[in-house]
Structure 1
């Protein structure tokens, strides 16, 4: 039976990958939204100078905080708006409300240089989603949170932010905190209230609302997919971390299933097909692309190390919690005894050092281009990238290069 399920999954993914080109998304309609974390922005101010913003349509600033009252708050006022304890905040008189230094000033300058660029502020993430279940459980809580977003991020900095992204990880199933069955409906209600608040606030171009969702087909049932689609501009499917915490080596973000995979639905093609089967149009869905890899340690045996027992914690140097692509390049693994492999079915690279017993799944320019092309050929809304601070420019260039070939 397991063999039969695998064959069915492979066939379904193959059919999806080979779908008719008539649904292809035009390059000019294709969203390229890069998440940018506040900590990357704070630690690497030069990132803004190096960023190829012409290859992006959106930056999703991650994350706004949620305070103990269930209201929006700045994550780090000192780095974001130059409101540090030892000196007063300074505001540029020529740009209403924009501080003279800090992340928000750099985001504003980026928009000035690239007028097409839209910036959304995200809330939640793995470590920031605990307040959602409580604040979304009442009409008053949802309304107060929606209005607080406007009060903290939109009114003080006119024109800086163009929308909101909600990244609740995860309704019902929970993450760092337990979820409740009521989360399923409350997520939809929360999005409806935020949409209403944004529409009421906008006096010009419509403000956008997006939601980040789990990639696992089993997690789709914990939401109301069609309700989500009705309230948001795009649904960002987090098509990565498929085997985080697993004790058998496998790919972080495979495009399609591989032979022998015990989780044959844990891949991008299967996830996007599952969201569509749940009633969401392909054109509403964005495909997630990771700019990081994950390592396993204590892997043994010769060959390529794939589908072998291993420790998902990795090592002090090669982390199982995430290795930024730019750090992976800097570390020069090929000079440290690693062999590089490419899997034709999953369309991803991987590394293995049989002597040290370390196995690494990651994405490179080739796999990023393949995923971007998949999203475009399937008629999807675009791609989301986590996250820009993890790149050295190579992966974003691969996204942009794929699209430029379609003109």
Structure 2
């Protein structure tokens, strides 16, 4: 799915509840795609101007043996070099180091990596993957920066001049940062099965046991995922968010998962876009709220990319996307980052 902007907090329709652990109060989440060419300092310089406080590094996948991989190898710790280090790694680690209050999570799945859900079939596979994800969240990522002050350099200077003074114009070690959580971008072109739902529930339950409540876990799903299943019938309108004559195969595909996982996930991202101009996003969010039982955990998605429509693809205006529609008047736009 083409994603440039994701997850706006529903300020009017779903008011956040104060006092919940990791409550979605004022949370604004954006995808942070690693296939885009950022300069080393571009993220840390530009993102603070946005309202986004949580970023999903996109996208990761796992194999049946539990091995994790990530777009552009952005999570692979490079061997230190004074002159050159991979920009994807340097850009996100520098941003997290400079802005420790912002949360950095890793999004696994998405359209490109939808095959990962087939690797959760057995308890043995789920255990390997859960252990790998837990290890990722506990892993220190070294931060290497240029042009620091001598006081900011951690440990010994790694590059010195001829007179043994520290050359701060080259990469020096600044310390370590850690990832804040995992997002499961649970989507497929085909309808998700009840077995796939239960497999992800089992994986998430085990991962929560391993990392406790100090790390964030989130679930991202299709806009119609909590609709009644009979909304697949074009004659049914009540409680249906997607009401085009040709309905979706995804109506209600994650409803049971939402009910059983509401205590596991810190927040739920609903992809309320790519559904046409007649999409009733308020109905979709109400269906999610009924399944989860906690409105403060639900975030509504929006995009300024070109998106699907029944007649033709279109780009929604900011006014129509965020301001004109009732219930979105109090939302804040996440930072727009390049996608594909």
CA distance in 1, matches of 2:324, 2:42: 24
> What's the CA shift for 1:388?
2.2
TM-score with structure 2 setting the length: 0.66
1:230 Cα deviation after fit? 1.2
Map of 1:295-314 to 2, 5 A cutoff? Answer: 310=311, 312=312
| Alpha-carbon shift at residue 102 of structure 1 (Å) | 2.4
Going from structure 1 to structure 2, the CA distance change for 1:272 and 1:91 (only over 3 Å counts) comes to: farther
Contact 1:35 1:62 in 2 (8 A): yes
What's the counterpart of residue 370 of structure 1? 323
Shift of 1:180: 3.7
The structure where helix makes up a greater share of residues is: 1
* Alignment partner, residue 60 of structure 2: 64
Q: Does the CA-based 8 Å contact 2:38-2:87 persist in structure 1?
A: no
CA distance in structure 2 between the partners assigned to 1:268 and 1:295 by the alignment = 15
- Within 5 Å, give how 1:134-213 maps onto structure 2: 134-152=118-136, 154-157=138-141, 159-170=177-188, 175=189, 179-199=192-212, 206-213=214-221
Q: 2:270 aligns with which of 233, 237, 242?
A: 237
How far did residue 289 of structure 1 move?
1.4
The 5 A counterparts of 1:311-350 are: 312=312, 320=313
Partners in 2 of 1:279 and 1:108 — Cα distance? 34
Please say if 1:131 is aligned against 2:116.
yes
Cα offset for 1:390? 5.1
Matches within 5 A, 1:12-91: 23=15, 29-40=25-36, 42=37, 47-48=42-43, 49-52=45-48, 55-67=51-63, 69-77=65-73, 81=76, 83=78, 89-90=79-80
Segments of 5+ residues of structure 1 without an aligned counterpart are 1-15, 84-88, 93-98, 200-204, 244-250, 252-260, 297-306, 313-319, 321-359, 392-407
Map Cα deviations across residues 228-258 of structure 1 (whole Å, 9 max, x no partner). 2111100111111114xxxxxxx2xxxxxxx
Q: Where do 5+ consecutive residues of structure 2 fail to align?
A: 1-9, 142-175, 230-250
Over aligned residues, Cα RMSD in angstroms?
Answer: 3.7
Asked if 2 retains the 8 angstrom alpha-carbon contact of 1:290 and 1:385, the reply is no
Task: Call closer, same or farther: CA 1:72–1:178 in 2, change over 3 Å.
Answer: farther
| Cα distance in 2, alignment partners of residues 149 and 384 from structure 1 | 30
Question: 1 CA distance for matches of 2:97 and 2:337?
Answer: 19
Residue 384 of structure 1: CA displacement?
Answer: 8.6
Q: Does structure 2 conserve the Cα–Cα contact (< 8 Å) formed by 1:165 and 1:209?
A: yes
Change in 2 beyond 3 A, CA 1:106/1:45: closer
Which residue of structure 1 aligns with residue 285 of structure 2? 272
Where 1:190 maps in the other structure, the secondary structure is helix
Shift of 1:57: 1.3
Q: Does 1:388 align with 2:340?
A: no
Change over 3 Å in CA distance of 1:196–1:104 after alignment to 2? farther
Query: Larger RCO: Structure 1 or Structure 2 (Cα < 8 Å, ≥ 6 residues apart)?
Result: 2
TM-score (norm 1): 0.56
Partner of 1:286: 299
Q: CA deviation at 1:104?
A: 2.7
